[in-house]
A = this chain, B = another copy of it.
Amino acid sequence: MTYPRYTALAQTLPASVPFVGPEAQERARGARFDARLGANENGFGPAPAVLEAIKAHAHEAWMYGEPESYELRSAIADHHGAARENIVVGEGIDGLLGYVVRLVVGAGDAVVTSDGAYPTFNYHVAGFGGVLHKVPYKGDFEDPDALLAKAREVDAKLVYLSNPDNPMGTYISAKAIEAMIEGLPAGCLLILDEAYVEFAPQDAIPDIAIDHPAVIRMRTFSKGYGLAGMRVGYAMGAPELILAFEKIRNHFGMNRIAQIAALAALKDQAGLDAIKASVAEAKRRIAQIAAQNGLMHLPSATNFVAIDCGGDDAFARRVLGELIARGIFVRMPFVAPQSRCIRVSCGPEVELQRFEQALPEALKAARSV
């Protein structure tokens, strides 16, 4: 007899990884990357006050995290003019996506997303036996109309949309998102992943009643606040939905130092502004580097820039490989035609200079095949 007796679902799942980490690539190539610009991490963050908070409270690591994240949730609620009952804090958006999928999706349940959107969401849907229906991007934008049409067609329980978008860095207007919410079919919950919202223009941020029953918004301290390694995200929604997380979440899953760091980060909005200025400058630099090489870039409402390599998927993949071979960690979109691009995360100037140096060589090598 095999041990253990896995569930029928577990038996069918592959031992898959949504992303291969840069460290695994470093082990494979036998050398460290010189520039870590591939995971949309924020090489500028966290703010100095946050670093100080981590160091000042390191000795508290012996205590479990506060299971209700009471203080942090209170501060987040204040920040948004919401109530604590509208906020659940979790182990990054990844963790929160897993929880909401678990609450809603069972065997055979329909879920809708965009083809080429966030793989970790897809991983969770598969992991709970859901059936994923994908609609194509419209150009380089996610397509609310197509998402809605598909949601109606398949009677979706969930529809996922990231705005601003990853991996393209584009965004849909607040008005379009608001119209999408109006058009959601009955019983369909929209997961609005706003991981990159701190970098987005005001026009990208919809006005949604915090208690709206058909929407859950996800935010994170990973991007704007530069704390990806700390794993703190939060979801905002109707109190009934937020309370449902209590049924299944890992109540003692939050790292105590991460809670402290996130609270310090939220309280340091000036620190966030400084980070955003650095990111804005880095975006200009990445665009400049693209232009120096005769390449177009997409306007970005995030902390990364999609550079159109000017060829097809295979060409971009060769450029990516040549960059990685030169110690530059970047990634690329998953599906065509978006996969004509490579995706470069913002980082400090010293890393961008390494990218600037490597890109012409990589393009030349990719073209010489």
Contacts and interface: CB of A to CB of B under 8 A. Distances in A.
Nearest to A158: B4
B63 A17 contact: no
Contacts of A206: none
A10 B7 CA distance: 18
A227 B5 contact: no
Contacts of A253: 91-92, 94-95, 231
Interface in A244-294: 244, 246-248, 250-258, 261
Contacts of A54: 54-55, 58, 61, 257
B248 A10 contact: yes
Contact of A157 (B4, B46, B186, B241): B4
A42 to B, nearest CB: 5
Given A4-B100, A62-B227, A92-B253, 9 more contacts: A3-B214, A7-B102, A7-B106, A10-B248, A15-B246, A15-B247, A54-B61, A63-B229, A65-B229
A52 to B, nearest CB: 9
B241 A255 contact: no
Which of the listed residues A36, A42, A258 has the most CB atoms from chain B within 10 Å of its own CB? A258
A136 interface: no
B231 A16 contact: no
A16 B246 contact: yes
Nearest to A51: B58
Interface string A209-240: 00001100000001000111111000000100
A16 B251 CA distance: 10
Nearest to A185: B1
A6 B104 contact: yes
A13 interface: yes
Contacts of A42: 62
Contacts of A158: 4
A247 B129 CA distance: 12
Contacts of A20: 67
A127 interface: yes
Contacts of A105: 7
A70 B103 CA distance: 31
Given A62-B46, A63-B36, A226-B61, A19 B252 contact: yes
Nearest to A27: B70
A214 B95 CA distance: 29
A13 B46 CA distance: 38
Nearest to A43: B62
Contact of A15 (B50, B127, B213, B243): B243
A169 interface: no
A139 to B, nearest CB: 29
B226 A106 contact: no
A66 interface: yes
B64 A127 contact: no
Contacts of A61: 46, 50-51, 54, 226-230, 261
A200 interface: no
Contacts of A44: 62
